[in-house]
Each structure stands twice: as C-alpha cells, then as structure tokens.
C-alpha cells in the first residue's frame, strides 16, 4: 500500500509574486473606498440613478471610474463594462428598474476560458427595505466588500494570470440578489466555465462592538454541502456513496484554507459548513443556483444594530451602518485572503474534470480516471484520501502526468480526490470522483 504523505498535509506556500501582491494591498486605499461609498448618502437600488452626488447611480459611476483606472495599468488585459438590464416589477421592485453591475474582467493569458468570479454588492438599505430616500451609508454592508474587490482588482490588474478573473460590484442585492442573478445567468447562458465564485458581504470588522472579545484575525467562509442545483440522479449517487462533504463548494472551502490562511494574509479562515447564516443570503447563492461552486466571506461576529438600520441613537445605542464601525486594516486582510485564493486558483491548473472511481468489479484496490488537463504547464496529478470521518485531506500520492491510476487502498473505507499540479507547484482544488 502506498504510504502517501503523512496526515496533516502541509499547506501550499505562497509563491514570490503572490507575496509581493499581498504586500501591495493598502488599508488606506480601502478606507478611501469605504468612506467614498458611504458618502453617497444612500445607495438603495430604487434611489436616484442620475443624481451626480447622491444615490445608487452616483456610486455606480464612481466604481466604474475606479475600475477604468485599474484597467489602464493592465496592458489591455482588463476590460470594464456597465452590465445593465431592466428588472420588471417583482418582489421589492415596485416598478421597472434599471439594475447595473460594474464588471471588470482580467483576461487570462493561458486558459482564458476558465473563469473565477469575485463580488461585493454596492447597494445599501435602511430599516425599511423599500425606503430609497433615508440615509443608508452601508459602510459594512457592503462598502467593505466592494472595497475588498476593488483593491484586489487594483493589485492584480498589473499582473498576468493564466485563467480569467471577473471582479464585479453588483447591485440589487438587498432587494433580492437581482444583480448577481443577472451576472450568473449571463455566464451560464454563455456556457462559461466558472470554476469558483466568492461573495464578499459584510467584511468590515472583527469587532462586533457588543462587548464581546474582538476577533480581528478571522473571517468566516460559508460553503454549502448538498449542492443547491443537485439533480435527482446526483442526489441518489450522493446518498449511496456518502458525498455530503465533497461537493465542489466544500472543496473550494478546503482550498481557500490551504492557500489563504497563513502569515502573509494574517488571517484564519473559519470555514462554516452551511450555505449561509440563518435567515440570510448573499450573492453566491445566484451562482449556486446555476451549479457553480461558490462561497461567501463574512466577518466573524455581526452586530445587527449596524445592519439594515436607520441611522439614529436610541436608548443610548448608536444604530446604523456607519464608517466609524469599520476596521480598514481588517478589510485589507480580508482582501488579502481573496487575493491569495484568486491568484492561486488562476495560476494553478483547473480543477480536474470527469473524475471517476471504477466500480465495475469488487476489489479492495481503487482505480481512478479523469480527463487530461488543458493547462499548458501541467506537471501531473495527485491522488488524495482521508477517513470518512475526517474534515480535511490526510494522505496524498503523486501519480505523475497520467489520467488513470490504481491505489492499493479500499474505496469502501475512505474518501478519494484528485488534483492537478503545474510545473511551478501550483495545485488545483480537489475534485471528488463519482462512481463509474
């Protein structure tokens, strides 16, 4: 039996260029973005779209200008668009309303058809979700997420990536995920190979300002188990093999912990095995509905007096989503986590496809097959396995640049996975096999 690497696999260390990239993320720039977005008064989806200083339209135009400035440094690799559509009357949308996402696309130089998406939503709200006139600064929810996305876009724009990365400030989240739903559907309709998506929503501080201890070095990452878009046939297969913890989003969570929880980011990534928090949801759900792997970053402990509240003081308590409750260094560290994940994904080969575990005969050995990678710098593959009761991969075996291998370990006793490795040692997320 191949021994594999011992339990407790070492994490993927950041390469030299990633370390340099992470050092460029600037808390002062983050602060400028959060303060500017909060300064538009309200960014409610139903607020003014043509007032130059107040409302969602002014915020949209300012974000577009920032992305355009970053694109100017990219050597033509980054393009920016205003992705608009008219949303007919629907829940929380009383009349036809223009919804506009601001989208910056950094085209990959090796495999441009492989895509990774990161979002923050730039709309905000007050206590009444239909109140489009009251002040709704939305500093934490979600100027913080937009600031993280913009800052990562700025530092990645000057660099070449193998795969394509889409940075998007989406609208209409508070009214019902309308902007991200449109973005996800546009990608799905185009047959886009989106291999991961991250939503940054409420990533403003590690201090809940409620008297509990601050946790400034932790960010939560919510990842679903049973896939939202699972078909009845896939449900049957999952139930038969016990694959509740091996969907693509769960593998994405493991990958982020592997590459982004380290001294270079200064953060611990607390993966939560849920699609989202109780009674809440974010833009990653729009992608999960289309079958794309997706996850949501959010701060470790929320203060609900600072979310979805009119700005006021009541019984000595300050309500409202104000800039003063944000920690810009914390947001910068969240941006570093995003950058580490996106860079590592975009530079590595894509997640292996068509991974199958041979179940045509009864045997105590395990045979795995997969499709060859299209990455131009593929080095080979690794087979991983773990006890069925273990949360993380425990053993790894390097099998070379092949598309099938047999391991003398019983598939009945452990969970298997396969990942690709390039010549520089970048590793893809793991793909779990299906019976075949």
- pLDDT, tens digit (0-9, with 9 covering 90-100), for 141-180: 999 999 999 999 999 999 999 999 999 999 999 999 999 9
- Give the total residue count for the chain: 436
Q: Which tokens in the block code for residue 163?
A: 């795969």
Burial of residue 53 (CB within 10 Å: 0-12, 13-18, 19+) is exposed
- pLDDT, tens digit (0-9, with 9 covering 90-100), for 189-203: 999 999 999 999 999
Residue entry with tokens 């179940």 = 359
- pLDDT given for residue 11 in this prediction: 86
C-alpha–C-alpha distance, residues 436 and 360, integer Å = 7
User: Which of the four pLDDT bands, split at 50, 70 and 90, describes residue 204?
Assistant: very high
C-alpha–C-alpha distance, residues 124 and 60, integer Å = 12
Average of pLDDT values for 406-416? 96
C-alpha–C-alpha distance, residues 167 and 71, integer Å = 11
Q: Read out DSSP for 340-365?
A: HHHHHHHHSPPPP-S-EE--SS--SS
Q: Which of 63, 430, 22 is nearest to 255 (CA)?
A: 430
- The larger pLDDT score, comparing residue 26 to residue 8, is at 26
Neighbours of 368 (CB within 10 A): 24
User: Which of the four pLDDT bands, split at 50, 70 and 90, describes residue 8?
Assistant: low
CB neighbours of 313 closer than 8 A, spacing ≥ 6?
A: 319
Query: Across the strands, what pairs with 421?
Result: 380, 427
Q: Which tokens in the block code for residue 400?
A: 């070379």
Pair 118, 167: CB distance under 8 Å: yes
Residue entry with tokens 């190979």 = 193
Q: CA separation (Å) from 20 to 106, 158, 259, 318, 401?
A: 19, 12, 15, 40, 31
- pLDDT, tens digit (0-9, with 9 covering 90-100), for 41-73: 999 999 999 999 999 999 999 999 999 999 999
Q: Which tokens in the block code for residue 250?
A: 């769960």
Pair 347, 421: CB distance under 8 Å: no
Q: Which tokens in the block code for residue 227?
A: 């896939």
C-alpha–C-alpha distance, residues 41 and 44, integer Å = 9
Average of pLDDT values for 295-323? 96
Pair 272, 222: CB distance under 8 Å: yes
Pair 265, 337: CB distance under 8 Å: yes
User: Which of the four pLDDT bands, split at 50, 70 and 90, describes residue 213?
Assistant: very high
* Residue 6 confidence (pLDDT) above 60: no
């Amino acid at each position: 039996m191949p021994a594999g690497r011992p339990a407790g696999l070492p994490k993927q260390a950041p390469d030299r260029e990633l370390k340099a990239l992470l050092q460029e993320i600037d808390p002062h720039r983050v602060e400028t973005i959060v303060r500017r977005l909060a300064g538009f008064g309200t960014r409610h989806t139903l607020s003014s779209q043509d007032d130059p200083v107040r409302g969602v339209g002014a915020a949209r135009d300012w974000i577009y200008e920032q992305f355009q400035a970053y694109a100017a440094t990219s050597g033509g690799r980054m393009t920016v668009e205003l992705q608009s559509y008219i949303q007919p009357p629907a829940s929380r949308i009383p009349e036809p309303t223009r919804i506009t996402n601001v989208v910056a696309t950094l085209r990959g130089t090796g495999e441009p058809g492989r895509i990774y998406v990161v979002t923050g939503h730039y709309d905000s709200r007050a206590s009444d979700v239909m109140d489009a006139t009251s002040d709704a600064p939305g500093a934490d929810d979600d100027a913080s997420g937009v600031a993280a996305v913009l800052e990562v876009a700025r530092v990645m724009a000057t660099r070449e990536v193998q795969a394509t990365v889409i940075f998007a400030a989406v609208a209409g989240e508070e009214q019902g995920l309308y902007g991200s739903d449109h973005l996800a559907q546009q990608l799905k309709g185009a047959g886009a190979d989106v291999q991961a998506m991250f939503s940054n929503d409420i990533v403003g501080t590690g201090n809940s300002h409620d008297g509990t201890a601050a946790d400034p070095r932790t960010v939560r990452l919510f990842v679903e188990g049973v896939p939202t878009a699972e078909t009845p046939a896939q449900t049957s297969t999952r139930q038969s093999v016990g694959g509740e913890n091996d969907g693509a989003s769960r593998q994405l969570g493991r990958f982020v912990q592997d590459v982004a929880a380290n001294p270079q980011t200064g953060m611990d990534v607390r993966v939560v095995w849920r699609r989202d928090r109780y009674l809440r949801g974010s833009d990653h759900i729009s992608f999960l509905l289309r079958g794309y792997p997706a996850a949501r970053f959010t701060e470790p402990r929320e203060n609900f007096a600072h979310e979805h509240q009119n700005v006021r003081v009541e019984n000595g308590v300050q309500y409202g989503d104000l800039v003063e409750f944000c920690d810009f260094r914390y947001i910068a560290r969240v941006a570093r986590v995003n950058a580490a994940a996106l860079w590592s994904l975009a530079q590595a080969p894509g997640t292996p496809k068509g991974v199958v575990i041979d179940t045509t005969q009864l045997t105590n050995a395990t045979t795995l097959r997969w499709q060859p990678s299209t990455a131009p710098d593929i080095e080979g593959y690794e087979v991983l396995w773990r006890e069925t009761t273990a949360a993380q991969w425990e053993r790894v075996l390097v099998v070379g640049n092949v598309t099938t291998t047999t391991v003398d370990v019983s598939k009945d006793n452990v969970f298997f996975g396969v990942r690709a490795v390039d010549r520089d040692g970048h590793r893809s997320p793991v793909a779990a096999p299906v019976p075949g």
